[in-house]
Amino acid sequence: MHVPLQEQLEILLPTYNRREHLLRTLTQLTAAESPVRSCSLTVLDNASTDGSSELIEEFAAKFPTIKHIRHAKNIGGNGNIARAFELAQKPYVWVVCDDDSFRWDAWPEIENALFSNEYDILLTRKDDLKGTSNLAKIVRQLTFLPAGIYRTANITGGVLMNALNNIPNMFPHLAVVCAVLNKKGRIFLPQGEIMDKCTVAAQTGDEYSVAGYDVYPHPFVGNMFWTVGFLNSLQMIEDKKLHAYILEYVGNHGFFGYIWASFRKNYTRYHGNKLNIAFVKSGLTGWQRVKFLVARILLRIVTLFARKRS
């Protein structure tokens, strides 16, 4: 006989100054049709100043499952994510964003997987997989924070230290993903998905790292962007062959195509990111370093030619 869902799963939600989006997310999670409305929901409030704190208090007064933790100071979006994993206590934890939107059609199969206790990660969204079950694409999908429900037993002290150390790389939760890969853990890939595309993070993902800064940000953080943070995070994978495989197949056109497309899109940040780029190179195979160098040279030529024409 299953234990109640609220004994198997808890939800944590980091937030900062997104009252309008937070209202919609909290409303969906607590709605009568929400299958997780009985689960404890802890909202980690990064000292919001836009009325978000008051909104959370309103929901907490109405729903006893909601707990509001307001930090005395803004510890950064990624610091808040790391804090969420630190606080997890139930067998599984789902860390969601304050701008998420849900659809619950596929929830029954995810809930069955939860109660099977067989999996270390359960996917909730699959749009990055493009119909495949390729492990590299799964790891890329898990960069989206709520795309995974995680077994809390895997969040050891060492994993938390890796998460804290990976805050500048934008993806503290990839410390948990890499820990699962290192132990050859099991990942549940559902037939459906329960997450809609987020409304804000997809548009402002790179800026999330510096949201709320009231001083000049550390250069390692200020020039960070998605691709560099992701590549740096993958260096927590112990198996070098697995690491190289994920790098080679994470994009749709191999490692060279992945670097070319993503760095061209973010060339300004890439050009001012020499410290991070050096760390990226340290984790590549010899052949991948060649591809990386060729992509950089071609990007430089294309950029200079475009500037001359303009």
Kindly report, residue by residue over 137-159, the tens digit of the pLDDT. Answer: 999 999 999 999 999 999 999 99
Average pLDDT over residues 260-269: 71
Torsion, Cα 81 87 92 95, to 10 degrees, reads -20
Total number of domains in the chain: 2
210 domain-assigned: no
Q: Which residues form the domain of 119?
A: 5-188
Residues 145 and 249 in one domain: no
94 domain-assigned: yes
Residues 167 and 254 in one domain: no
What mean pLDDT is reported for the chain?
89
Q: Please, what is the angle between helix 226-233 and helix 174-182, to 10°?
A: 30
Condensed to tens digits (0 to 9), the pLDDT of residues 125-141 reads 998 888 899 999 999 99
| Proportion of the chain above pLDDT 90, given as a percent | 67
